[in-house]
Structure 1
């Protein structure tokens, strides 16, 4: 039974001519990919959608399962293609990825087996509610508002009437209000107003006015006159969130970011930056290579960013006390990590690590180390040299041997997580099981002075 409102490009005469339809039917490995523009497709203003009504930002592109994203970009003259699954995060496709094959694999995983049926369903643009391709990165207004607000407004500095009103570029990004020249912007003189702990107030008896004040005895004040009620409400809402914070925290998690806004580097009071669940890149004006510009950054969360390699530029942020790099496909940790002498918490869970550099032992303040769900065959020897370490997470590794002599020397550890450890040698792990039983019964509680520990099954 045909679904109401379905829009298949293989059979609809309004989408392709007879030549294109014949080409598609000649091979089940051929098909079309629906490419959307940056804006969300809008339904008709009134009445049902007719067979001739098309969405202006939707393009149907003929290709095969061997066609790569790079080839489609060349055909469409675009910089990159983006993928969104189930309305969630949007990521840039690797040039070698094949969009139509990805679409076919998705349908096969749903239970479609007949190649012709897969081709037919893949050509239906209704499928875009589950898997959607973009020819440019879409702009989410709500997300953009939380990330960066920018506009040209009338501004007056100070509370006295001596200062004149002037047109200025005003930016609200991260924890600060930035007032800059309209013409020169970032290249000219800027006034940066830290807002954490400060105030944002509406000015009574004046329409669409806000007063921004920084905290402290030498607080500065700026008055901004907004053009519309919508602008006024948007800026008031976002600034109120910033001034109510007790720490200089910027939370940009789950925003599909590849870079942070360049204006964020001018917020020199930022101490905590959460970029979890993004697609951060190393290069670019707002890439990880420039994060050393954060002069007071203490906590950085880059978990679930698909980095692939450990960004060595992070080893230059010597103010860091917490670094979270879980689930990034890391296979090695650089020796330069020893530069982070203030580091207290290092979370590397869910990667592909099987060893740690000896230089890690120079982190004299490290007290919490997360290595769960990696590929370690044993507890890294460098742990013995981390005298301040009191919490070690090793759950879900491929531990083959527990060196009791080594564990006996780790008297500084107060908690250790050894759940779900699975030796490679499943047939001959009797000694391993016996060792683990002895460890949990005697060594952990009495000899190593570990108040509590998790010990899971060995198979």
Structure 2
């Protein structure tokens, strides 16, 4: 059970653990293997691409086996994926010199890196390989001291991304160490033997739990909700102070999202809730619509569409939303740090989903302002790495459903007893070991989630919750 709790902890703290590892790689001389691989006596980086041979010449000092400016050496050649899952022992994955290099130090290992597709090309020399297109997987031989910055410099990449448990994807800091993150992850799961950790880190099946990308993959949740998207000429506000500019515009769920074309996948976006707002034709400009949110602090965006068909399609979809009486706002998986301020003026909101973001407590759009939603019944702020229970939530007396799962919480405040209307409370995946006595006063509570916490026994306060008919406590120490 402890291993499952550690997995949840790692989801919130993998970056912190990896950042503590010293940066840099010691550089020493190496041998050139029979296959052209440069085998260093000190950890370096070797990249095996899941595609055909791309080497510029085996053993050539000007080819991929040569030194780079960072001291990292790279070998690109065919890598077969069938058979054994372990890269350390599978002969068809690496040559004998590479396997010997891995076995020479347990701080050396293999990182599975997913990214763009690999275009088949004929090899420059050496044995002929298959030109069948392969999946976009690279096996990167490196050390626990290899940083993201060094990997990107060698690959001419812009950055690396990590995904835990198939959920949230975040960009790695240049100083973080991908292989060390994998090792820390396995250690937290209960693997203690360094050799075993090295072998498991090379297991491709581990990528379902922790996976690295060379480019940010599309968010499947957002794709499913996206109705329309395109790059159009946009102007913010009703005055002439703002200039027209090319922007990425997405109509998703009940919101209009406007972002710069360059940063459209990095979370830098303006979100305009359209429920209760307006969408109007701008007659003085061809194929132009004005989108406005509701409330005294309403925001307005003008969008010029390229064709009449685009104009009619966006007008039709937006008109359906602004006329809705639905009071649900879904802003999950948008990398938000604050709630859009103008959203607080929508007093009819009853359901708010902020799952999988980076919400802060303080600031104009921080969680401390949530009590301004006077009609809120359902609130989901799971997977936000809060670290502390947001006590301001206990002031929303209309709540019937509250989800605070996977937020690295250690205690629950006594103010939880104020939520007398609460029926469902989800606190799974935290670090709780006790519950306040005030929780026993929630007489309407019928569903309580406490899975994957640090409880050593069933809290006595649960005996007072007579209405609870669903209690989840799997993955605890009890």
Q: TM-score under structure 2 normalisation?
A: 0.49
1:358 to 437, 449, 459: 437
Partner of residue 195, structure 1: 274
What whole-Å deviation, never above 9, does each CA across 1:230-289 have from its counterpart, x for those lacking one?
A: 974785476356336433312234x2x44356536545214321134x254546879864
Partner of residue 336, structure 2: 259
Q: How far 1:300 moved relative to its partner? A: 0.9
2:162 to 83, 96, 115: 83
2:234 to 145, 153, 166: 153
Q: How far 1:177 moved relative to its partner? A: 6.8
Q: What pairs up with 1:213-252 in 2 under 5 angstroms?
A: 224-229=302-307, 232=311, 235-236=314-315, 239=318, 242-243=321-322, 245-252=324-331
What whole-Å deviation, never above 9, does each CA across 1:131-182 have from its counterpart, x for those lacking one?
A: 642467556599389599897536896xxxxx99985789889867799xxx
- Relative to structure 1, the CA distance from residue 215 to residue 294 in structure 2 (aligned partners, 3 Å threshold; closer, same or farther) is closer
Query: Is 2:412 the counterpart of 1:336?
Result: no
What whole-Å deviation, never above 9, does each CA across 1:4-41 have from its counterpart, x for those lacking one?
A: 963689999554339766687423342454667xxx62
Distance in 1, matches of 2:457 and 2:359, equals 31
Distance in 2, matches of 1:379 and 1:86, equals 29
Query: Is 2:97 the counterpart of 1:16?
Result: no
Alignment coverage as a number of residue pairs: 353
- Relative to structure 1, the CA distance from residue 134 to residue 323 in structure 2 (aligned partners, 3 Å threshold; closer, same or farther) is same
What whole-Å deviation, never above 9, does each CA across 1:271-320 have from its counterpart, x for those lacking one?
A: 321134x2545468798645537544442113455656534453455664
Highest Rg: 1 or 2? Answer: 1
Q: How far 1:392 moved relative to its partner? A: 0.9
Distance in 2, matches of 1:305 and 1:294, equals 20
Query: Structure 2: 5+ residue runs without aligned partners?
Result: 1-47, 68-72, 76-96, 125-130, 259-270
Distance in 1, matches of 2:433 and 2:141, equals 44
Partner of residue 27, structure 2: none
Partner of residue 51, structure 2: 6
Distance in 1, matches of 2:290 and 2:161, equals 40
Tell me the C-alpha RMSD between the 2 structures. 6.3
Distance in 2, matches of 1:354 and 1:146, equals 40
Task: Indicate conservation of the 8 Å contact 2:50/2:118, yes or no.
Answer: no
Partner of residue 324, structure 1: 403
- Relative to structure 1, the CA distance from residue 262 to residue 329 in structure 2 (aligned partners, 3 Å threshold; closer, same or farther) is closer
Task: Indicate conservation of the 8 Å contact 2:234/2:303, yes or no.
Answer: yes
Query: Is 2:423 the counterpart of 1:345?
Result: yes
Distance in 2, matches of 1:308 and 1:212, equals 37
Query: Is 2:457 the counterpart of 1:391?
Result: no
Task: Indicate conservation of the 8 Å contact 1:210/1:224, yes or no.
Answer: yes
Distance in 1, matches of 2:257 and 2:185, equals 44
Query: Is 2:116 the counterpart of 1:41?
Result: yes
Provide the secondary structure at the position in 2 that maps to 1:26: helix
Partner of residue 434, structure 1: none
2:145 to 59, 64, 67: 67
Provide the secondary structure at the position in 2 that maps to 1:143: helix
Distance in 1, matches of 2:477 and 2:98, equals 53
Higher relative contact order (CA 8 A, sep 6+): 2
Provide the secondary structure at the position in 2 that maps to 1:395: strand
Q: TM-score under structure 1 normalisation?
A: 0.51
Distance in 2, matches of 1:303 and 1:397, equals 17
